Every structure is written in C-alpha cells, then in structure tokens.
Amino acid sequence: MSITALQAPVTRNDAAISLAVDILAQRFGERCVRSQAIRMQHGHTTTWLPTQAPDAVVFALTTEEVAETVQVCAQHGVPVIPFGTGSSLEGHVNAPGGGISVDLSRMQAVLEVNAADMDCRVEAGVTRKQLNSYLRDTGLFFPIDPGADASLGGMAATRASGTNAVRYGTMKNAVLGLTVVTASGDIIHTGGRARKSSAGYDLTRLMIGSEGTLGIITELRLRLHGQPEAVSGGVCPFPTLEAACQAVILTIQCGLPVARIELLDPLQVRASNTYSKLELKETPTLFLEFHGTENGVKEQAELFAEIAQDQGGGPFVWATQAEERTKLWSARHDAYWSAFTLRPGAKGIATDVCVPISRLADCVGETQKDIEDAGLIAPIVGHVGDGNFHVLVLVDPDTPDEIKRAESFIERLNWRAIDMGGTCTGEHGVGQGKMKYMRKEHGGGVDMMRAIKQALDPLGIFNPGKIVPSQ
C-alpha cells in the first residue's frame, strides 16, 4: 500500500533532527526514548496506513516540558507530533518527515472538578474512561464516547464524538477552554470558565480538530453533565433501511431527546449475534438509549415505539434493567471486534463519512450496493442521529488486488458522501488518509486553512503532512 498520493511531500532534515534529538536526550534523559520499538509504536496507525516512525519520543510530564520540547524543535526546524493513546485512524501520528513525538500519556492529572459549574480541568493524557471513573461519585459524567478509550487531548485534537453526540454534542461542544503550546513554544490559554463568551476569535474551536497542526493541547477545561436519574435502552428491527432511517428522522424531528440511536446493517447484526451471543433478526436494526427521569425515559420509549411501528418496524424491545442494557450496548461497543468473526484473519480498514440525515438511507443503500459490486465484506454501523456512519472493510492483507479494490471503494464512498452535501469524515479526522478529499469538500476554504496554518506555524514544524493539502 502506498500513501504517496495521500499526503503533501514532507522533506526530512537529518542533521537538524539529529541535533534536536541530542539536545532533548540531554534535557529529558530516560524520558527521551530512541528505541526502535517505542518509535514504531508512536508512528503506529490502527488501520491500513504504513507506519512512519518519529526519530525520538519525549514523554512530557508538564505543559512547560512540552513547551521546552517545542522550543528546541522550533530552533532547529524539526517536526513535532503530539501523541495521546495512538487510537487515531487516519495516520494522525505518523512522522513522514521524521522528528519528535511528544507523548502526553503521562500527563494524567484531574486538576479540578467544580460541581456547581459542572466543569473540570484535566491534563491532556487523561482518558475518557479515567475521567468517568474519577467522576463516578460526583453525580457528574463526561458524555463523549468515541469507542476507544482515547486521551481527552487527542479527542479534542481530532474533534471526536461517538454514539451519544446526538444528545450531548461532540468535543466541539464539550470543551470550554484549552491550554495550548504554540509553534514558538509559548503557552496560551483559550476560552475560559464562563459557559459562553463573545470576546474575540474562537481559538478553542480553532484548536479542536486541528490535529496538532496548529498547537499542542496540554490541558482541557471540559463541560460535564449530570448523571441521568434513569436510563433505558432497547433494540428495534426494521424491514428496510429506508424505514429505519425514516424512523430516525421522525424521532429527531419530534424533539425526542434520544441519547443514542445507532444503526446496524444486517451484516453487522450477524457479526454481533455471533460475537456477543445475541439472537437478533438479521435486518436493519436500531439500538437506542434514553436518558431522563423515570417518567421521561418511559415516555420517550413509548413515543419511539409508536414511531417505529408507523414505519413498519418493531417490536421495540426495551429494558430499564442495567444488566440487559449493558449486554446490548456491550454488543454495540464490540461491533468493531465482532466484525472479524465474518472473516477470521482479515485486516480491517475503518472509515467514516457523515451526510445530511435526509440522504442517509440513499448513502448507506448505495454504499451497500457498491460493497457487493466490489466483492468486499464490509459491515456498516452508524451514529444515525447525526447522519454519521462507519464502514469496516475486511481485507486479506496478502491480496494486493483486494486492498486496491477496498481503497477504490473507500474513495467512492467519500466522493458519494461529499456529493450528497456531507463530509469525508464525521469524527475520525483527516490525518493523512482524508487529505485528498479536502479540496472537493471545502473548495477555497482550503486556502484559508493554509493561510491560518502558515500564520500560526510559519516553520511548518507542527505535525507536517496532515490536514491541509499543499494544493
């Protein structure tokens, strides 16, 4: 697999890198690591892009250490690539021009929790599960759930979301403010503790989704939510994809505050049945979760059951018991792993797109047909309340022709989503893998992005070869 077509050429300056690594090794001692294993792990990508390892990894403990590292790299014009847990999917942590990976995973302090303001301040290396464990007894929780137990810094950097974005929004909504190390090695604070502000440019939202190309996020102030008094969940089969999507549209339209509403296509249902020992009918199926008061979740579930029935769906089986719900949602969370039961030994190429919800049935339907025509095996799951869906193409890594067919399929999927008024990525981010779709999706907006990149990182040291194509 070649990714040369996917990324801007990034030149490598061996002498400068070697000098910077020496300085950092002297400064950070054992926390500046040059071993092959650690370097490879830090350029590791979870899907199909080849690894491009950095020259050294600095395990930073403080914002000031990140700033120091950036200062050294700025002085020598050496690339700096921030690293959280390495769960990104589009080659975000690759080092095409070499350089220094700044690993923030040891910055794990929860610095403040303010119950009255329902916010908290954390270091960038805290993962979402760690934060929720910490919050368990406070009555509060952090809702954004991208599946992987990603670091919160990484989740902000990629504008992550997940299953309950339909109710709680994405990282764009969850972050009140950031501490950021700039490309000159300065430390700035964006946003603040107020719930809203009209005071100047929204640097917080500019950093969110910038994937380490404009700044390195070292601390986050996050908006929390009250743990719901009651939760209920359920599963509902539909005769057709169109009926399932129409039910989703009506659910959103009538203002039903559904917390999660997820589509599994028949192939994914089969995989989940096998892996998670369920006995669901192999048909387009919605998984739902409702949050609210006891009465509220009952009312929501009843209202949804009516909507589903009107579309020929059902029966809608729902449960307020935590145990049943957990089994169901574990199955949804394990969808990625379950898919491999469809083709043991295969490698998965994960991709996501997002379209206006009115086009979702069209886009998923055309995609299913394309999968069939291309002779691929690729289950689909979707955060359908947002119009976002994932395709996991299961390929034999030793069959180049199949990989080529998978790549072509993924290209067509992205063009299709953009043609339908959608986006080439709802939540995975651009990294290296999606750069080639940026011009088509954003037109002249790409030039504005490049101008911003050049203004904030004039030396081009921050995560080069990502997001903004050179043309």
CB atoms within 10 A of CB 251: 23
Using the rule CB under 8 A, is 355 a contact of its own copies? yes
Task: Considering the complex, state which of residue 400 and residue 443 has its C-beta at the smaller distance from its own copies.
Answer: 443
Contact assessment for residue 466 and residue 79, using Cβ atoms and an 8 Å cutoff: no
Task: Return d(Cα 120, Cα 131) in angstroms, integer.
Answer: 10
Q: How far is the CB of 273 from its own copies (least distance, A)?
A: 29
Using the rule CB under 8 A, is 439 a contact of its own copies? no
Task: Considering the complex, state which of residue 186 and residue 310 has its C-beta at the smaller distance from its own copies.
Answer: 186
H-type helices in 311-359, by residue range?
322-333, 335-338
Contact assessment for residue 261 and residue 286, using Cβ atoms and an 8 Å cutoff: yes
Using the rule CB under 8 A, is 423 a contact of its own copies? yes
Q: How far is the CB of 469 from its own copies (least distance, A)?
A: 10
Task: Considering the complex, state which of residue 293 and residue 330 has its C-beta at the smaller distance from its own copies.
Answer: 293
Task: Considering the complex, state which of residue 55 and residue 262 has its C-beta at the smaller distance from its own copies.
Answer: 262
Part in contact with its own copies (CB under 8 A); list of ranges 31-39, 277-285, 293-301, 374-382:
293-301
Q: Which residues, numbered 66-85, are part of the site for its own copies (CB under 8 A)?
A: none
Single out the residue of 12, 225, 327, 333 in contact with its own copies (rule: CB under 8 A). Answer: 225
Q: How far is the CB of 161 from its own copies (least distance, A)?
A: 6
Q: How far is the CB of 307 from its own copies (least distance, A)?
A: 13
Single out the residue of 152, 203, 235, 403 in contact with its own copies (rule: CB under 8 A). Answer: 203
Single out the residue of 170, 268, 272, 432 in contact with its own copies (rule: CB under 8 A). Answer: 170
Task: Considering the complex, state which of residue 88 and residue 368 has its C-beta at the smaller distance from its own copies.
Answer: 88
Q: How far is the CB of 430 from its own copies (least distance, A)?
A: 6
What DSSP letter does each residue of 42-53 carry, written as one string? HT--SSSSPP--
Task: Return d(Cα 378, Cα 205) in angstroms, integer.
Answer: 34
Cα radius of gyration rounded to whole Å, the chain: 22
Q: How far is the CB of 113 from its own copies (least distance, A)?
A: 12
Long-range contacts of 330-336 (CB under 8 A, 24+ apart): 330/276, 331/272, 331/275, 331/276, 331/278, 332/163, 332/262, 332/264, 332/272, 332/287, 332/381, 333/147, 334/272, 334/275, 334/276, 335/264, 335/268, 335/271, 335/272, 335/379, 335/381, 336/147, 336/392
Q: How far is the CB of 181 from its own copies (least distance, A)?
A: 11
Task: Considering the complex, state which of residue 196 and residue 277 has its C-beta at the smaller distance from its own copies.
Answer: 196
Using the rule CB under 8 A, is 293 a contact of its own copies? yes
List CB contacts of 199: < 8 A, sequence separation 6 or more. Answer: none
Q: Which residues, numbered 376-405, are part of the site for its own copies (CB under 8 A)?
A: 385-388
Q: How many CA atoms lie within 13 A of 290 on its CB side?
A: 28
Angle between helices 14-28 and 63-76 (to 10 degrees): 150
Single out the residue of 129, 193, 281, 404 in contact with its own copies (rule: CB under 8 A). Answer: 193
E-only strand ranges, 197-284: 216-223, 225-226, 230-237, 260-264
Q: How many CA atoms lie within 13 A of 399 on its CB side?
A: 11
Using the rule CB under 8 A, is 200 a contact of its own copies? yes
Using the rule CB under 8 A, is 365 a contact of its own copies? no
Single out the residue of 35, 133, 274, 295 in contact with its own copies (rule: CB under 8 A). Answer: 295
Torsion of CA 330, 335, 338, 344, to 10 degrees: -160
Task: Considering the complex, state which of residue 355 and residue 377 has its C-beta at the smaller distance from its own copies.
Answer: 355
Single out the residue of 304, 318, 437, 462 in contact with its own copies (rule: CB under 8 A). Answer: 437
Using the rule CB under 8 A, is 111 a contact of its own copies? no
Single out the residue of 301, 357, 364, 410 in contact with its own copies (rule: CB under 8 A). Answer: 357
Task: Return d(Cα 361, Cα 417) in angstroms, integer.
Answer: 12
Q: Which residues, numbered 238-257, are part of the site for its own copies (CB under 8 A)?
A: 249, 252-255, 257
**What's the DSSP call for residue 378?**
-
Token pair of 51 as six digits: 């690894």
Distances (CA, A) of 327 to 2, 319, 324: 40, 11, 5
Q: Which residues, numbered 2-61, are part of the site for its own copies (CB under 8 A)?
A: none
Q: How far is the CB of 455 from its own copies (least distance, A)?
A: 3
Residue 316: closest CA among 341, 290, 292, 339: 290
Task: Considering the complex, state which of residue 270 and residue 390 has its C-beta at the smaller distance from its own copies.
Answer: 390
Single out the residue of 14, 198, 279, 344 in contact with its own copies (rule: CB under 8 A). Answer: 198
Using the rule CB under 8 A, is 449 a contact of its own copies? yes
Task: Return d(Cα 443, Cα 440) in angstroms, integer.
Answer: 6
